[in-house]
């Protein structure tokens, strides 16, 4: 990962432009590289997190939630996405499948429209997840 470019990183699931830039900036700092090398030499071994994905009506779909929802809190809506097999992320990218837009949706909605991402309201979202 230390040698990846921004373009390479944004192809990874759940990594958008901002996160990719942060990763590149982090690994571009010689002090951070030295710290990581020292940790490895001290015996620290990175562990890979295994995430089991549930099957459901949203399996493989990426959602972004924006605006104020009337039926659920943002956290509740994110949990519903995950229970239905999807993934909820915080930023819109070309990998986003749906944007759940509530009242007063702002820049995320605008970006989704520019990228041609499907925008859904709460009623449509409820149908998608089968409730």
Q: What is the pLDDT of residues 52-94, one digit of tens each?
A: 556 788 888 999 999 999 999 999 999 999 899 898 988 898 8
Q: What is the mean pLDDT of the chain?
A: 89
pLDDT in tens, 45-61: 888 766 555 678 888 89
Buried b (16+ CB within 10 A) or exposed e, 88-121: bbeebbebbebbbbbeebeebbebbeeeebeebe
Q: In this predicted model, which residue has the larger pLDDT, 51 or 13? A: 13
Structure tokens belonging to residue 105: 């949706």
Closest CA to 125 of 57, 59, 67, 68: 57
- E strands, 32-121, are 62-66, 87-89, 98-101, 118-120
How confident is the model over 1-19, as a mean pLDDT?
Answer: 79
pTM, entire model? 0.61
Cβ atoms of residues 114 and 83 within 8 Å: no
- Beta-carbon contacts of 87 under 8 Å, excluding residues fewer than 6 positions away, are 13, 14, 61, 62, 63, 81
Give just the sign of the alpha carbon dihedral 123, 79, 18, 2: negative
Structural domains in the chain? 6-41 (no CATH), 62-129 (3.40.50.10190)
């Amino acid at each position: 990962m230390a040698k990846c470019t921004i373009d390479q990183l944004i192809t990874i699931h759940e990594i958008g432009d901002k996160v990719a830039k942060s990763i590149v900036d982090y690994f571009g700092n010689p002090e951070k590289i030295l710290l990581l090398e020292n940790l490895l030499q001290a015996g620290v071994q990175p562990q890979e997190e295994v995430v089991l994905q549930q099957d459901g009506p949203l399996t493989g779909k990426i959602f972004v939630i924006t605006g104020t929802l009337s039926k659920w809190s943002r956290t509740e809506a994110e949990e519903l996405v995950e229970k239905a097999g999807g993934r909820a992320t915080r930023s819109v990218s070309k990998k986003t499948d749906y944007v759940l837009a509530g009242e007063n949706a702002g820049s995320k909605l605008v970006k989704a429209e520019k990228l041609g991402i499907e925008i859904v309201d709460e009623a449509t979202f409820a149908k998608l997840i089968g409730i």
